Amino acid sequence: MNKNIESTLTISGWIIRMVILIGLAVAGAACASATPVSSQLAGVIGCDVSKVTITGVHWFKDSHGAWRVVGVITNNSSKAVSKVVTGVETYTKSGQPADQGEDVSAYPDDLKPGAQAPFTAWIDREIPGLDHFDVEGDECILADSAERGSVDVRGGRMALDNAGAAQVTAELFNPSTKAILVNGLMAAVYDQAGNLVAADYVNVATRYLEPGESGPVRASLDLPTGGAQQIKSYKFFMDPLISQPAPLPLNVSQDVKIISHYTDQKGQFHLVGQITNPGTKELMTSLQATVYTDSTKSSVADAAFFDTNVPIQPGESLPFDLTGWGALNNTRGLWDQLARKNAAISLRLEPFLTWTEATRVAKLSLSDGSVSFNDQLVLFTGKVRNDMNGRINAGEVVAVVRQKANGQIVATGSQPLTITDSAAPGQVLDYSITVALPANLDPATLDTEVSAVGQQP
């Protein structure tokens, strides 16, 4: 997944954030450059791609059956390189093209002369007759001469999960007196001889760090057959840029709270809580959670994030459930082990993906609702009607399960409405949400509620 952020962006912060959100959702998609065309042409003209090599190319199928092609980018030129456009070619045993190949852009961001960075390509299709891949550099772009800082990587940990993937976690710390915007963010794992085994963009990324602030980073890397026995070390790659301060419109210690955490019957870890918007404008934000191996916070066991899909209205609270974990979801009994060591959990809001806006968000009406309990699962189904006076371009349904005795939230789930372009006034959309409960809960002691909101363009 390409999470590159161009350092020369000049468009508004709101648009920047939306571009990044889209980029995070599209695996393997190359970010469109926001650098002016004239700057791109200058970068191409001044960059000698013949001196930027990709070696050690190897490939394997990942857990989803897609091809992963990896290698090592080496900058043998005298100038720093930010982007390399490559052709990933496919060949049969006889050396003939197996299919049309793939154009893949790599973003080493600020690859200094003589330095190396990992290359990765993701190709999700069958290639009849494939014998091998070859990666050829087509063009390159020089790195911008932006002011750069440094970031410390601490509390790092590499573990193999039950699926045979490498879970690499750490904490990024800004030791300087200036704010840092972290560009790029890839992880790579190596064998004992220092050879690259696998590489990928991270799943959880800290982007903006105030002086003295820290935030989590996590990568889940599929490995080739036998790769689990090979890997001995790891490394994160990033480009820390000096940035302007970006104050948050809310306070995580006051406006975000953890309500509960549990592991469901399928072994998925849940961190349940709610975010309250204390301001006077609608709020979009990204919440990150870090689970440490013990109370000293010396090592990061796992990290996950929760992004709002529709702005939170002023004074409103949005329940959340962080479920997209790595090791906690894929290593049996891990949370129980961590709990015995008094594992710490910390929350942070990512400023790069947090902003307020003046937009119209309103509650939508529900109909034909049905709630059914089955083996520690709750299924919510029904219909949502756009009863706003105008089209909506986004919407979300939120389901909540509470204790009858005290109204405490025990579980929650949500679903963005499936809207193509926009939904007209009066249009009806379906929803279906499955919520996994903590173990041994009696449905007779629980209440449920469903709500829906829509946002106008």
- Exposure string (b/e) for 143-173, b if CB count within 10 Å is 16 or more? bbeeebbebeeebebbbbbeeebbbbbbbbb
Question: How buried is residue 65: exposed, middle or buried, by Cβ count under 10 Å (0-12/13-18/19+)?
Answer: exposed
Q: Which two tokens stand for residue 356?
A: 């307020």
What pLDDT is stored for residue 220 in this prediction?
97
- Position 41 scores a pLDDT of 52
List the one residue out of 299, 298, 452 whose CA is nearest residue 380: 452
Separation CA 413–CA 273 (nearest Å):
11
Query: Would you identify the CATH topology of the domain 252-357?
Result: Immunoglobulin-like (2.60.40)
- Copy the structure tokens of residue 293: 């191996």
Listed in sequence order, the residues at least 6 apart from 383 whose beta carbon sits closer than 8 Å to its beta carbon are: 366, 367, 368, 428, 429, 430, 431
pLDDT at residue number 17? 40
Q: Counting every residue, how long is the chain?
A: 457
Task: Look at domain 13-142 and name its CATH class.
Answer: mainly beta
Tell me if residue 336 falls in helix, strand or coil. Answer: helix
Q: Which residues pair with 415 in a beta bridge?
A: 397
The per-residue pLDDT for 44 is: 67
Beta strand residue intervals within 222-352, DSSP E: 231-243, 256-263, 269-276, 282-284, 286-292, 300-307, 317-322, 345-349
The answer to whether the beta carbons of residues 72 and 119 sit under 8 Å apart is yes
Question: Cα(141)–Cα(85) distance, rounded to whole angstroms?
Answer: 8
Task: Dihedral sign for Cα 100, 81, 205, 169, please.
Answer: positive
- How wide is the angle at C-alpha 126 spanned by C-alphas 123 and 129, nearest 5°? 115
Residue 21's pLDDT is what? 38
Residue 6: CA count within 13 A, CB half-sphere = 21
Query: H or E segment at 19?
Result: helix 13-25
Calculate the alpha carbon distances from 159 to 234, 306, 317 in Å: 11, 23, 36
CATH class for the region spanning 361-455 = mainly beta
Give me the phi and psi of 213, to 5 degrees please.
Answer: -90, 155
**Residue ranges per domain, the chain?**
13-142, 252-357, 361-455
d(CA 60, CA 49) in angstroms, rounded, equals: 26
Q: What is the pLDDT along the chain (457 residues), one digit of tens a residue?
A: 333 433 333 333 333 344 343 343 333 333 333 444 444 454 566 899 999 999 999 999 999 999 999 999 999 999 999 999 999 999 999 999 999 999 999 999 999 999 999 999 999 999 999 999 999 999 999 999 999 999 999 999 999 999 899 999 999 999 999 999 999 999 999 999 999 999 999 999 999 999 999 999 999 999 999 889 999 999 999 999 999 999 999 999 999 999 999 999 999 999 999 999 999 999 999 999 999 999 999 999 999 999 999 999 999 999 999 999 999 999 999 999 999 999 999 999 999 999 999 999 999 999 999 999 999 999 999 999 999 999 999 999 999 999 999 999 999 999 999 999 999 999 999 999 999 999 999 999 999 999 999 999 8
316 by Cβ neighbours in 10 Å (0-12 / 13-18 / 19+) ranks as middle
Separation CA 364–CA 378 (nearest Å):
22
Instruction: Kindly calculate the radius of gyration of the chain based on its CA atoms and give it in whole angstroms.
Output: 23
